[in-house]
Amino acid sequence: MDPHKQPRPTAPVDQVPLLDVGRGNRVVRDEIREAIQAVCDSGRFLHGPECGGLEASIAEYCKVDHAIGCASGSDALLLALMALDIGPGDEVIVPSFTFFATASAVWRLGATPVFVDIERDSFNIDPRRIAEAITDDTKAIIPVHLFGQCADMQAICELAREHQIKVIEDAAQAIGAEHRQRPAGSWGDMGCFSFYPTKNLGAFGDGGMLVTNNPDHAARLRLLASHGMQPRYYHSEVGINSRLDTIQAAVLQVKLPRLPEATLRRRENADRYAQLFADAGLDSAICLPREGEGQHHVWNQYTIRVAGGRRDALRQFLAEHQVGSEIYYPVPLHRQACFHNMRHPHSLRETDLAAEQVLSLPIFPELTAAEQQRVVEMIGDFVAKEKLLAA
Ligand SMILES: *Cc1c(COP(=O)(O)O)cnc(C)c1O
């Protein structure tokens, strides 16, 4: 088959992957090959001109003054906390319903992650619950823009200002998202991005980026990401080694100009699911995700809720019919063995409920309408079967 050709929408579909990064990458295969070849020829595998070029492009894309490359989204979070001198005795408010890295960065510095519940509709940290969790030791809040939709940054930033607390955005899943027309990453003191291959802007390996409007933070982040070394072999403080390598930057430079188009495809896919589920009369049996007021959702995940304890059965059924799905996240952080003794100031009811009910469906940009129809059809079959069983 011609690798440049997309599967035709009319072709019969017998399987649907949760994610196929190959489809997006194939279209730019030649450009990426050339970009990688150029890095190989230059021999500048680190600190190549592509690194600075990508930083400038990401800063522009996110409407911020500074962008600093680093080795991963996890390192971006760690570096942001280090730049704020967060350490033992400090508390950092984080959602419990997120990827592990949000809280592990806090723990690694000897500070205490304080887990806060989420809003039911958005899956994002609940500003009202944040207010209850603030103490004299609270130094920062890390809102996570989960699944590609911003947390309520207006409310969170107001709270933070009032209490003189810093805000670090975990925007790993949300590059290009907006809240009240302001880009993810540009609201807080610093924003953290990941280029892990499954993210909306995925590299060919690990990579990360920090963004900020504060020149002092930018300088400190650069210093911390290069062993606190300035000038060469003189160390004013102890940093880490965290670099975005030139090959990853070169790949991302090819992919970034196509991100708006890819995001549009994701948004169209989300709309198509809403239509297909409604047409099939399934929108009451299954709870669909929706874009919140004032939000621009970039749909890193399309996450439905399945009530009545039938989520795992549906996932099993879909797997048997070659439809990919995944549970993000099955175990909230406050229930992880390594965090069992961490404080959480109130019940995390919504978090526990989400962990029981969520199921993410295929939403990647190159997913076809026929594939989406297949996903919805299979969910319809499951619901019909369940009704039969219940009758
Ligand atoms: C992916 C992700 C990270 C970590 O990014 P890596 O590049 O994999 O280290 C952090 N937070 C969230 C919410 C993520 O989804």
Per-residue pLDDT averaged across 339-360, rounded?
Answer: 92
Q: 55: Cβ–Cβ under 8 A, 6 or more apart, which residues? A: 67, 68, 69, 209
Percent of the chain whose pLDDT exceeds 90 = 92
Could you tell me if 91 and 240 lie in one domain? Answer: yes
Number of domains in the chain: 2
Per-residue pLDDT averaged across 62-68, rounded?
Answer: 98
| Domain-embedded: residue 52 | yes
pLDDT for residue 390 is more than 80 = no
Could you tell me if 100 and 234 lie in one domain? Answer: yes
pLDDT for residue 86 is more than 90 = yes
Say if ligand 1 is within 6 A of residue 208 CB: yes
23-45 tens-digit pLDDT: 999 999 999 999 999 999 999 99
- Tell me how far the alpha carbon of residue 95 lies from the centroid of ligand 1, in angstroms: 14
Say if ligand 1 is within 6 A of residue 242 CB: no
Say if ligand 1 is within 6 A of residue 170 CB: yes
pLDDT for residue 351 is more than 60 = yes
- Tell me how far the alpha carbon of residue 377 lies from the centroid of ligand 1, in angstroms: 32
1-14 tens-digit pLDDT: 444 555 555 567 89
| Domain-embedded: residue 176 | yes
| Domain-embedded: residue 286 | yes
- Four-CA torsion 180, 182, 183, 188, nearest 10 degrees: -100
With contact defined as beta carbons under 8 Å apart, do 146 and 120 qualify? no
The domain boundary, picked from 241, 257, 273, lies at 257
Q: Is the dihedral of CA 69, 146, 318, 379 positive or negative?
A: negative
Q: Is the dihedral of CA 275, 277, 279, 282 positive or negative?
A: negative
- Tell me how far the alpha carbon of residue 205 lies from the centroid of ligand 1, in angstroms: 13
Looking at residue 1, its pLDDT comes to 44
- Tell me how far the alpha carbon of residue 314 lies from the centroid of ligand 1, in angstroms: 27
Place of tokens 């003191």: 189
Say if ligand 1 is within 6 A of residue 168 CB: no
The domain boundary, picked from 257, 289, 310, lies at 257
174-198 tens-digit pLDDT: 999 999 999 999 999 999 999 999 9
Say if ligand 1 is within 6 A of residue 300 CB: no
Could you tell me if 179 and 43 lie in one domain? Answer: yes
Could you tell me if 32 and 168 lie in one domain? Answer: yes
Could you tell me if 307 and 329 lie in one domain? Answer: yes
- Tell me how far the alpha carbon of residue 198 lies from the centroid of ligand 1, in angstroms: 10
Local confidence band at 391 (pLDDT 50, 70, 90 cut-offs):
low
Nearest CA to ligand 1 atom 1: 172
Say if ligand 1 is within 6 A of residue 375 CB: no
Total Cβ atoms within 10 A of residue 391: 5
Local confidence band at 350 (pLDDT 50, 70, 90 cut-offs):
very high
Could you tell me if 83 and 205 lie in one domain? Answer: yes
Looking at residue 10, its pLDDT comes to 58
| Domain-embedded: residue 193 | yes
Could you tell me if 74 and 181 lie in one domain? Answer: yes
Mean confidence (pLDDT) of the chain: 95
- Give pTM, 2 decimals: 0.96
Could you tell me if 318 and 250 lie in one domain? Answer: no
| Domain-embedded: residue 201 | yes
| Domain-embedded: residue 13 | no
Say if ligand 1 is within 6 A of residue 98 CB: yes
The domain boundary, picked from 257, 289, 320, lies at 257
- Tell me how far the alpha carbon of residue 332 lies from the centroid of ligand 1, in angstroms: 15
Looking at residue 198, its pLDDT comes to 97
Could you tell me if 225 and 350 lie in one domain? Answer: no
**Domain, as residue range, for 88:** 26-257
Could you tell me if 338 and 203 lie in one domain? Answer: no
Could you tell me if 182 and 67 lie in one domain? Answer: yes
| Domain-embedded: residue 18 | no
Percent of the chain whose pLDDT exceeds 70 = 96
Write the CATH number for 379.
Answer: 3.90.1150.10
Per-residue pLDDT averaged across 205-229, rounded?
Answer: 97
Q: What share of the chain is helix, strand, coil (3-state, %, to 5)?
A: 40, 15, 40
